[in-house]
Structure 1
Amino acid sequence: MTASSTSAATPRLTSLSHGGGCGCKIAPGVLAELLAKSNLPKQFFPDLLVGTETADDAAVYRINDEQAIVATTDFFMPIVDDAFDFGRIAATNALSDIYAMGGTPLMALAIVGMPINVLPHDTIAKILEGGESVCRDAGIPLAGGHSIDSVEPIYGLVGIGIVNPKHMKRNADAKAGDVLILGKPLGVGILSAALKKNLLDDAGYRAMVDATTKLNRPGMELSQLAGVHALTDVTGFGLLGHGLELARGAQLTTRIDSSKLPLLPGVQALIEQGVFTGASTRNWASYGAHVQLASSVSDAQRALLTDPQTSGGLLVSCTPDSVQQVLELFARHGFGDAAIVGHMEAGPARVIVD
């Protein structure tokens, strides 16, 4: 059985959704417009350490001087057709936001929306089992959740974690001179687009699943390093979008070296064939005005830089003298593809790509 095949009686999961994985996200420009029009009162809570101000990965609320709650939610439609893998990917992606704040997961709640009369109940059960398996791997209980009968299949988690406020890492605290290190290779969106077009072989499928189901555990230890100033994870807005969030939060320029980007196997060949997602185009339309591309950057490279990463890698902003320590920490946790991809420098809040 190939990566994209299913039984005749069961529709492909990806055929039931108009988008998949973090490519389902509302485009960043549209989201910013919607939030700007919100009529919710902007109340001040001194113990809310992280809210919506810098589009950070999770909310953080201080309980006392040593403890703060990290809360996040993430869900999406299928990025793959295998039900168990879909559940695993969605759960891994949701818990990543806790690790990206430097937090430790405590428990999770399931978010489930399924077309009950379209999908076999065994298929839905496999999705739930996939999510539960990731929670077990993270050492936390899946303690409940909520379900609805929906037109498209949706699955994800509410994640609850804990962090010492002194060690919490925001996406807004990068410093000029910091080096940027990316923990996982890029190209998930491209591989998922190839899967929907039946262009992805079994090796490519396995590479995609292996990357998207690897928990970003290094975030818990990275938060303990004094040389690490900022953390985020690269997901639906692509490397450029999340690099721009770093720049805006710190009021600095993010500079990316396009020649140093780590790629998942097979991605380069696919993107040269013109395989990419619609979300990549929407991402560029939303924030391209704040990105300066060198003339040497090709359209294929731009599509890669804007490629939505489902359950992508941690993006670390750290001092030059802590780079080796960060890379060794990643390698110790099995993230041998972690690589330097750029740096932060003084200048307006934008991204420059060399």
Structure 2
Amino acid sequence: MDAAPQIRLTELAHGGGCGCKLAPSVLQNLLAGQAMAAPFSQLLVGTESSDDAAVWQVNDEIAIIATTDFFMPMVDDARDFGRIAATNAISDVYAMGGKPVMALAILGIPVNKLDPAVVREILAGGASVCAEAGIPVAGGHSIDCPEPVYGLAVIGIIHPSKVRRNTGARAGDALILTKGIGVGIYSAAIKKGVLPDGAYDEMIASTTLLNRVGAELAEDPAVHGITDVTGFGVLGHGLEMARGSGVALRIAADAIPLLSRAGELAQAGHVTGASHRNWDSYGAGVELPPGLPDWHRALLTDPQTSGGLLVACAPEAADAVLARIAAAGYPLARRIGSAEAGAPRVVVT
């Protein structure tokens, strides 16, 4: 008797990775009118901004960072799915400048459709990344779910004075991006079975590269603001930084680092629906240069899963900060623009 055909993880999900995130405009509408957390004096970072995690001050020396992130599979390899999701979740702690200390697993599985061995591989992949980050998976919660979902709730610590937010950019600051763009485009190509040879390994190397350099950068007073670039694309997360900081960001389109096949795949039309939703959500907050091709715009709006850090630092320190990031193991890190005084927006040149 022939064995039943193996089900692909991506076939069970209507979307994958951070491309599953609600569009910025939809999220803003849903959160409108929600009570703010302002009455709690120890809550250093809450819902008042679009930061990557919440921060609670315990005493003069310690603050706790708390975050959660989960999504549906963007790849069919179960262990890789777990690794990507865990790396992505832990990134929020690093983006605040903190050190992760433990994680809790979040798991939703269609129990009648997935072999338990596949689920174990997802969990093993996530645990392997947590081990690399030096933290335990100390518990979690699971449900029977129509689509496979996996992620982590992560707790970190930091000195209160070293918290880095996406609201900290200053006029004159240099902007540095630590990873290449194109994960969403690669994911779209995977779904269609057209991802070129070697590109999958490149994507996995990027999406499982921990953003631990964020904790190092928080030690540098010349680094004023940090956020990670995920589902809203480099323009969307740049716009959040601009609005939170009260500055304009000027980004050079040709300076943005790309995964090696991202440009040709974008030109061939392998773009996610989330990329279009992102663009529709930015409104007047983003200005593009005349004649920018649609495929190039798609790169700027491409949803990143476990993307890099967008760093705002003093211009005189930019070369040293960039060299430090590259030396820490981020070969595609590039200086992509600057912050300037003006109405909060992102101007692409």
- Report the TM-score when normalising by structure 1: 0.96
Task: Name 2:255's counterpart in structure 1.
Answer: 260
Q: Does structure 1 residue 74 correspond to structure 2 residue 69?
A: yes
Aligned equivalents of 1:265 and 1:41: distance in 2? 43
Change (3 A) 1:213 1:223: same
**Which moves more between the two structures, 202-211 or 137-146?**
202-211
Aligned equivalents of 2:98 and 2:188: distance in 1? 32
Structure 1 residues 187-245: Cα deviation after superposition (integer angstroms, max 9, x where no partner): 00000000000011340111111100000010011001111000000000000000001
User: Does structure 1 conserve the Cα–Cα contact (< 8 Å) formed by 2:36 and 2:47?
Assistant: no
Task: Name 1:12's counterpart in structure 2.
Answer: 8
Q: CA deviation at 1:54?
A: 1.3
Q: CA deviation at 1:41?
A: 6.1
User: Does structure 1 conserve the Cα–Cα contact (< 8 Å) formed by 2:53 and 2:96?
Assistant: yes
Task: Name 1:92's counterpart in structure 2.
Answer: 87
Picking from 30, 44, 52, the partner of 2:26 is 30
Change (3 A) 1:43 1:101: closer
**Which moves more between the two structures, 95-104 or 327-336?**
327-336
Q: Does structure 1 residue 352 correspond to structure 2 residue 347?
A: yes
Aligned equivalents of 1:73 and 1:302: distance in 2? 29
Structure 1 stretches of 5 or more lacking a match? 1-6
The DSSP-based 3-state class of the residue aligned with 2:162 is coil
Q: Does structure 1 residue 278 correspond to structure 2 residue 276?
A: no
Equivalent residue letter for 2:209: K
Q: Map 1:1-354 onto structure 2 (within 5 A).
A: 9-38=5-34, 40=35, 42-354=37-349
Q: CA deviation at 1:263?
A: 0.5
Task: Name 1:4's counterpart in structure 2.
Answer: none
Equivalent residue letter for 1:56: D
Aligned equivalents of 2:284 and 2:161: distance in 1? 36
Equivalent residue letter for 1:309: Q
How many residue pairs match? The answer is 347
Change (3 A) 1:336 1:77: same
The runs of at least 4 aligned residues of structure 1 exceeding 3 Å deviation read 40-43
Aligned equivalents of 2:160 and 2:5: distance in 1? 51
Q: Percent identity?
A: 58
Structure 1 residues 144-167: Cα deviation after superposition (integer angstroms, max 9, x where no partner): 000000000000000000001111
Q: CA deviation at 1:10?
A: 2.0
- Report the TM-score when normalising by structure 2: 0.98
Equivalent residue letter for 2:139: G
Equivalent residue letter for 1:36: A
The DSSP-based 3-state class of the residue aligned with 1:44 is coil
Aligned equivalents of 1:244 and 1:333: distance in 2? 27
Change (3 A) 1:8 1:299: farther
Equivalent residue letter for 1:149: D
The DSSP-based 3-state class of the residue aligned with 1:329 is helix
Q: CA deviation at 1:8?
A: 5.5
The DSSP-based 3-state class of the residue aligned with 1:341 is strand
